[in-house]
Chain A
Amino acid sequence: MIKTSTQNELIQYVYDELAEDVCEQLEKSLMQDDELAECCSELLLIQHLLDGVVKAPTDRSVNNIINYSRSLSLQS
């Protein structure tokens, strides 16, 4: 059973927010604890899947934004 505090650290770890000293300690634990390592692996897989749903807007919208900003500059 993984402690809640360790699970929270794991979340911070996969999102690259864990303090360096805690990070080193967690990485040591990952080498020794199969359950923790498996949990980390699953988190990374889901993270990878979530990454894939990022979608780009149309060029038209992007151009509208850029042109709007430029039009304000021309007015001032």
Chain B
Amino acid sequence: MNTTTQLSDSALVSLYIAGNENAFEQLVNRHKNKVFTTILLIVKDSYTAEDLLQDTFIKAVHTMKSGRYNEEGKFSSWICRIAHNLAIDFFRKEKRSPIITLEDGNNVFNTLSFAEDSVESLQIKEDTHARLRELIQALPQTQREVLMMRHYADMSFQEIAEATGVSINTALGRMRYALINLRKKMQKSNIVYDKNLYSE
């Protein structure tokens, strides 16, 4: 039985720094999906995202093993900030906008699980994901940044405000506009977002 599965992130970090590799494995498995998604939504390429995911955790490994990890704040926010910064650095260097493609050839947004996989629901899913991808990418940079930091990087609005150098009300306002913009554009595009279409 793995005794680390119920521990907090903070406890796992302490164990890892003390030399427990199982604790690190637990941290990776706990946060890999959100870190990966955070990167993927910025770089828009699954192969690059896989590389940057590894770079992110390797950077975290070095920070923790060298004793430079600051225990203030959440591990999830910290690791997602590293990922976000690496992805933004990459994006700025590359200045490119490739199609989001996964190893299996599917688009990144073709991954929602639907309650029924009928031909009709699959078609709706494909259309919805393709359009949603465009809508998120079309958001103003400041709105997209807050959306990703809050929704995928699990940072609090206060943390986002500090990280982006704005007030918490500005961060909240940007998030509000991001969600409102998505909602309006989804309605305008007749995008179905009935929650009954999606399995829990």
Contacts and interface: CB of A to CB of B under 8 A. Distances in A.
Interface residues of A: mostly helix, strand, loop or mixed? helix
A55 B36 contact: yes
A61 to B, nearest CB: 5
Interface in A50-76: 50-58, 60-62, 64-66, 68-70, 72-73
B157 A52 contact: no
Interface residues of A, number: 34
Contacts of B36: 55-57
Interface in B1-58: 19, 21, 24-25, 28-29, 32-34, 36-37, 40-41, 49-50, 53-54, 57-58
B193 A46 contact: yes
Given A11-B179, A43-B179, A52 B61 contact: no
B78 interface: no
B33 A56 contact: yes
A37 B176 CA distance: 16
A55 B19 CA distance: 30
Contacts of A48: 195, 198
Contact of B109 (A12, A53, A58): A53
A49 B175 contact: no
A32 interface: no
A24 interface: no
A70 B175 CA distance: 39
B101 interface: no
A26 B157 CA distance: 18
A12 B58 contact: no
Interface of B: 19, 21, 24-25, 28-29, 32-34, 36-37, 40-41, 49-50, 53-54, 57-58, 61, 65, 102-103, 108-109, 111-113, 129, 132, 147, 150-152, 156-157, 169, 172-173, 175-176, 179, 182-183, 186, 193, 195, 198
28 contacts: A11-B157, A43-B179, A47-B179, A49-B112, A50-B147, A51-B151, A52-B113, A52-B198, A53-B41, A53-B129, A55-B36, A55-B37, A56-B33, A57-B49, A57-B53, A58-B50, A60-B50, A61-B50, A62-B29, A64-B54, A65-B53, A66-B24, A68-B58, A68-B61, A69-B61, A72-B61, A73-B19, A73-B21
